[in-house]
């Protein structure tokens, strides 16, 4: 990585810090990939109810490529979210966002222009957290023979995709709990107006074993084109 950055600086191309700043600024508004700055990182590092994240980059074929999200516990990197899972990490990390594409290889489907919204609520005892992720967008690629002529067929298709998305979201949650990190700041939702339900130590101990129920809901738009796309494949 250091060698790549040095070559970029010596090549006379745009300085790497300006290049990264422009790229982060572009994607930060859309929530398509992880972005952060020193202020945000330090704020989360000292926040008792959230852990910091950074974009994770790798060099391949002399190119700097976004490769997912780096997860931190304090100031120490403890793991990553891989690129195939990163789009689902963003759905959980950002309250609202837009994903240009959402591949679902197991269903042979690619979703496009997906708007997402996330809602979080705890039970009164704080023993379980419910995470609702609402998605709205269109299908870019559909399986051959997929039928959506009737409302029932379309609804069944949407429900099958919701199950795939929910499985991916659960995988990301399992990953963060196994690493004992809360990059989503779920702990902040336990803080009341007058009191805090947990200290930092209590929340760090509670989060890895907390029951998390995820519900994904999907609304497809422009569905009149689905059958013609499927028939051409």
Give the domain CATH number at 64.
Answer: 3.30.300.210
Q: Could you tell me where the beta strands, DSSP code E, fall in the chain? A: 53-60, 63-73, 76-82, 96-104, 109-122, 128-141, 211-220
**Of the ranges 154-163, 187-196, 211-220, which one carries the lowest mean pLDDT score?**
187-196
Assess whether pLDDT exceeds 90 at residue 9. Answer: no
pLDDT tens sequence across 48-81: 999 999 999 888 887 778 899 999 999 999 999 9
Distance CA 189, CA 57 (A): 30
Q: Specify whether the CB–CB gap between 138 and 113 falls below 8 A.
A: yes
In which band, very low, low, confident or very high, does the pLDDT at 2 lie, cut at 50, 70 and 90?
very low
pLDDT at site 196 = 75
pLDDT tens sequence across 93-148: 989 988 889 999 988 999 999 999 999 999 988 999 999 999 999 998 888 777 77
Q: Which residues of 114-127 are buried (b: 16+ CB within 10 A; e: fewer)?
A: bebebeeeeeeeee
Q: Which residues of 26-46 are buried (b: 16+ CB within 10 A; e: fewer)?
A: ebeeebbbbbbeeeeeeebee
pLDDT at site 146 = 79
Assess whether pLDDT exceeds 90 at residue 195. Answer: no
Cα 82 to Cα 103, 123, 141, distances in angstroms? 14, 31, 23
> Which of the pair, 195 or 125, is modelled with greater confidence?
125
The domain tally of the chain equals 1
Assess whether pLDDT exceeds 70 at residue 219. Answer: yes
Give the DSSP H or E segment for 23: helix 16-28
User: Strand, helix or coil at 203?
Assistant: helix
On whether the pTM is more than 0.75, the answer is: yes
In which band, very low, low, confident or very high, does the pLDDT at 162 lie, cut at 50, 70 and 90?
very high
pLDDT tens sequence across 11-55: 555 566 676 666 666 666 555 788 888 899 999 999 999 999 999
Distance CA 139, CA 217 (A): 15
| Domain housing 90 | 2-232
Closest CA to 97 of 122, 133, 69: 133
pLDDT at site 16 = 64
pLDDT at site 142 = 80
């Amino acid at each position: 990585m250091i060698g790549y950055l040095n070559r970029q600086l010596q090549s006379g191309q745009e300085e790497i810090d300006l290049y990264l700043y422009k790229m982060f600024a572009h994607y930060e508004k859309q929530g398509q990939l992880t972005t952060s700055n020193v202020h945000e990182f330090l704020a989360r590092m000292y926040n008792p109810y959230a852990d910091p994240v950074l974009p994770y980059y790798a060099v391949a074929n002399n190119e700097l490529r976004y490769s997912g999200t780096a997860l931190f516990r304090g100031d120490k990197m403890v793991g990553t979210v891989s690129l195939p899972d990163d789009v689902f990490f963003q759905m959980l990390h950002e309250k609202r966002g837009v994903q240009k594409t959402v591949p679902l290889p197991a269903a042979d489907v690619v979703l496009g222009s997906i708007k997402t919204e996330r809602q979080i609520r705890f039970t009164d005892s704080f023993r379980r957290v419910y995470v609702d992720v609402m998605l709205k967008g269109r299908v870019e690629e559909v399986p051959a023979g997929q039928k959506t002529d009737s409302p029932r067929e379309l609804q069944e298709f949407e429900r099958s995709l919701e199950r795939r998305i929910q499985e991916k979201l659960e995988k990301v949650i399992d990953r963060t709990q196994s690493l004992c990190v809360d990059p989503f700041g779920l702990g902040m939702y336990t803080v009341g107006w007058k009191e805090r339900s947990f200290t930092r130590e209590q929340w760090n101990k509670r989060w890895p074993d907390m029951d998390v129920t995820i519900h994904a809901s999907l609304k497809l738009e422009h569905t009149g084109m689905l059958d013609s796309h499927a028939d051409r494949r």
